[in-house]
Structure 1
Amino acid sequence: MGKGDRKTRRGKIYRSSYGNSRAHVAAPTVVGAKPTVTKPAAKKAAPKKKSA
């Protein structure tokens, strides 16, 4: 029930291991699903320099 327990999430974190209680992938992938495409962020124009 803590760091020493290999079956709990805290125990897995302590031992640097993975398993059912500490899985790598949060959600399983769906077969045939379209990959999500993200638009690249638009670059902001650099501020104009003030002439003295």
Structure 2
Amino acid sequence: MRVDRQAGRQAGRRQAGRQAGRQAGRQAGRQAGRQAGRQAGRQAGRQAGRQAGRQAGRQAGRQAGRQAGRQAGRQAGR
């Protein structure tokens, strides 16, 4: 009787520990995922901004060069 009760108590304790561990693991995983997502988003945003800036600069330079060439041609023709 006493042995059975002790075994039951031990089994209950073991299951409770297992469940607590599972929940803690799940929460830790969720938090880690959230943080990783935030960091990845930040990095992606930074990279996208850098690339957009580079492209905009290139396009602006091309347009300025074209306009300068057109103006120089007009002036030379005059």
TM-score by length of 2: 0.22
Whichever structure has more helix as a proportion of its residues is 2
Query: Greater RCO between the two (CA within 8 Å, min separation 6)?
Result: 1
TM-score by length of 1: 0.28
Larger Rg: 2
